[in-house]
């Protein structure tokens, strides 16, 4: 899935005769020439992470995008992340290596159905997880990410009922943490839903000293046994600060690239997934649509561009800004 190794010739006719190493050099050259910045999520392929100016979680990436003083933002992540970058910094051109890099959570929440759901509960405040489209954000009162969701929920008066969408696993986790009255949308992340409790427990028997750490998009019974639950950036911070030497990591495997750099002396084991799942490991197929080759082409051709409807962007900006003000 991550393409050919260094030294091999690329097959795509547009990028012949570059090797992967040369492609990396070309990407750096084009970045300079075009006054561009590359923002990458932790789930991107290693080569893309290594070329990025900033790697982060959804909140960190939003902040970097908002303050990026460049001509071109290249967003190596999924579509909702690039869309958020454009909403926060609308004067800049935002491009993404593969325009089809979606997200199962964003796809679970079609705007028309969500509109009906919101209209059916007019007394509820609408808080949505950042993993949704700009249309859904435009219907929301406040956005949150996995690193500030608790804080965002707690900022709403206690008696106020809340609609939370689209991730029901994160929603259930937040109900448990905050005790708040929340009506949940039934979306899930296909990657985090695939982890197998039985296999994690089996693995733990072989590594009794290992701590299991999890992303809050995982199912509740997994979060119940986790030593730490948090965003991708939070998980990296945790393995660094924890005295433990071994971890079973319950999120997309791409994160291990940066984790290994931060704690090269610790043992990091990707959490196993259920056998009935079609993919071999916990890779996000959406995130992995972005490749080094596509990164080069998008920087060279300055497309595909992410450019949501201006009216939708205007409406979506307010709930995102409310979140950013709450978690500086
Ligand atoms: P983070 O904000 O924690 O990086 O999560 C993004 C995501 O899509 C997790 O699946
Ligand atoms: Fe969406 Fe899950 Fe992929 Fe994150 S890992 S982008 S939540 S499908």
**What are the CB-based long-range contacts (under 8 Å, 24+) for 276-281?**
277/194, 279/194, 281/253
Q: Based on DSSP, count helices (H) and strands (E) in the chain, helices before strands.
A: 15, 12
5-101+286-308 and 197-270 have identical folds: yes
Task: Determine the pLDDT at residue 328.
Answer: 66
Please report which confidence band the pLDDT of residue 4 belongs to, taking 50, 70 and 90 as the band edges: very low
Measured from the Cα of 105, ligand 1's closest atom is: 8
The finding on whether 232 has its CB within 6 A of some atom of ligand 1 is: yes
Which listed ligand is nearest to 193 at the C-alpha? 2
Indicate the top mutation candidate among 41, 76, 234, 258 to test ligand 1's pocket, ranked by most ligand atoms within 8 A of CB. Answer: 41
**Predicted confidence (pLDDT) per residue in 182-239, tens digit:** 999 999 999 999 999 999 999 999 999 999 999 999 999 999 999 999 999 999 999 9
Q: Compute the distance between CA of residue 188 and CA of residue 166 in angstroms, rounded to an integer.
A: 7
Max Cα separation, the chain? Answer: 63
What region, left, alpha or beta, does residue 238 occupy, with left being phi > 0 and alpha being psi -120 to 50 degrees?
Answer: alpha
Question: Does ligand 2 have an atom closer than 6 angstroms to the CB of 252?
Answer: yes
State residue 165's pLDDT score: 98
Mean pLDDT of the chain: 94
Q: Name the residue with the closest Cα to ligand 1, atom 4.
A: 57
CA–CA distance, 75 with 237 (Å, rounded to integer)? 23
Q: Is the pLDDT of residue 10 over 50?
A: no
The ligand 2 atom nearest the CA atom of 167: 7
Q: b vs e for 35-46, b when ≥16 Cβ sit within 10 Å of the residue's Cβ?
A: ebbbbbbbbbbe
Question: Per this entry, what is the length of the chain?
Answer: 328
Of all ligands present, the nearest one to the C-alpha of 109 is 2
For residues 124 and 117, what is the distance between their CA atoms, to the nearest angstrom? 10
Instruction: Report how far residue 92's alpha carbon sits from residue 229's, in angstroms, rounded to the nearest whole number.
Output: 34
Say if ligand 2 is within 6 A of residue 94 CB: no
| Tokens at 265, concatenated | 């002396």
- Classify residue 4 by its DSSP letter: P
Q: Is the pLDDT of residue 15 over 70?
A: no
pLDDT digits (tens, 9 = 90+) for 116-172: 999 999 999 999 999 999 999 999 999 999 999 999 999 999 999 999 999 999 999
pLDDT in tens, 40-81: 999 999 999 999 999 999 999 999 999 999 999 999 999 999
Ligand 1 neighbourhood includes 131 CB (under 6 angstroms):
yes
Q: Is the peptide bond before 183 cis (omega within 30 degrees of 0)?
A: no
Name which residue sits closest to atom 8 of ligand 1, judged by CA: 131
CA atoms in the 13 A half-sphere facing the CB of 286: 20
Q: Does the structural domain 5-101+286-308 have CATH classification 3.90.700.10?
A: no
The closest residue, in CA terms, to atom 7 on ligand 2 is 189
Q: Does ligand 2 come within 6 angstroms of the Cβ of 98?
A: no
Alpha helices in 155-307, H assignment, sequence order: 168-178, 197-206, 220-225, 232-241, 255-262, 292-301
How far apart are the CA of 146 and the centre of ligand 1, in A?
Answer: 7
Could you give the C-alpha distances from 164 to 52, 94, 140, in angstroms and in order? 32, 28, 10
Ligand 1 atom closest to the Cα of residue 78 is 8
Domain-by-domain residue ranges, the chain?
5-101+286-308, 105-188+316-326, 197-270
Report pLDDT digits (tens) over 287-312: 999 999 999 999 999 999 999 999 99
CA distance 254 to 165: 25
What is the pTM (predicted TM-score) of this model?
Answer: 0.94
| Long-range CB contact pairs, 256-262, < 8 A, 24+ | 257/42, 257/46, 257/49, 258/42, 258/49, 258/55, 259/235, 262/236
Neighbours of 160 (CB within 10 A): 11
Of 8-17, 66-75, 86-95, minimum mean pLDDT range? 8-17
Cβ of 211 closer than 6 Å to ligand 1, yes or no, is: no
**Residue 216 preceded by cis peptide, ω within 30:** no
User: In whole angstroms, what is the distance from residue 311 CA to residue 84 CA?
Assistant: 14
By C-alpha distance, which of 108, 55, 106, 53 is closest to 79?
106
Dump the DSSP string for 174-196: HHHHH---EEE--B--TTGGGB-
Describe the chain by its helix, strand, coil percentages, rounded to 5: 45, 15, 40
**Residues forming beta bridges with residue 270, ordered by sequence position:** 249
pLDDT computed for residue 279 by the predictor:
53
Which of 3.40.630.40, 3.40.50.10800, 3.40.190.10, 3.20.20.140 is the CATH number of 197-270? 3.40.50.10800
Distance of CA 142 to the CA centre of its chain: 18
Which of the four CATH numbers 3.40.50.300, 2.40.50.100, 3.40.50.10800, 1.10.760.10 does domain 105-188+316-326 have? 3.40.50.10800
């Amino acid at each position: 899935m991550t393409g050919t190794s260094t030294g091999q010739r690329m097959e795509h006719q547009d990028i012949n005769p570059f090797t992967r190493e040369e492609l990396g050099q070309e990407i750096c050259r084009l970045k300079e020439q075009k006054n561009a910045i590359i923002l990458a999520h932790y789930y991107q392929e290693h080569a893309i992470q290594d070329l990025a100016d900033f790697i982060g979680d959804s909140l960190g990436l939003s902040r970097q995008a908002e303050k990026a003083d460049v001509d071109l933002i290249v967003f190596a992540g999924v579509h909702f992340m690039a869309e958020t970058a454009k909403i926060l910094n609308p004067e800049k051109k935002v491009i993404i290596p593969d325009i089809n890099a979606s997200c199962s959570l964003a796809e679970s929440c079609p705007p028309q159905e969500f509109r009906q759901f919101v209209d059916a509960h007019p007394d509820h405040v609408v808080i949505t997880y950042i993993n949704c489209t700009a249309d859904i954000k435009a219907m929301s009162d406040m956005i949150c990410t996995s690193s500030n969701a608790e804080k965002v929920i707690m900022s709403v008066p206690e008696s106020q009922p809340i609609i939370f969408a689209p991730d029901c696993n994160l929603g259930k986790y937040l109900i448990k943490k905050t005790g708040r009255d929340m009506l949940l949308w039934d979306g899930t992340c296909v990657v985090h839903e695939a982890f197998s409790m039985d296999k994690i427990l089996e693995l733990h028997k072989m590594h009794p000293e290992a701590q299991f750490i999890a992303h809050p998009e995982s199912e509740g019974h997994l979060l119940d046994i986790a030593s730490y639950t948090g965003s991708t950036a939070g998980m990296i911070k945790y393995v660094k600060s924890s005295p433990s030497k071994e971890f079973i990591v319950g999120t997309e495997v791409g994160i291990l690239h940066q984790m290994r750099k931060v704690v090269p002396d610790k043992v990091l084991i990707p959490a196993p997934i259920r056998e009935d799942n079609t993919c071999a490991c916990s890779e996000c197929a959406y995130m992995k649509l972005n490749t080094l080759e596509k990164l080069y082409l998008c920087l060279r051709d300055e497309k595909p561009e992410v450019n949501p409807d201006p009216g939708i962007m205007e409406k979506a900006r307010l709930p995102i800004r409310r979140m950013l003000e709450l978690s500086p």
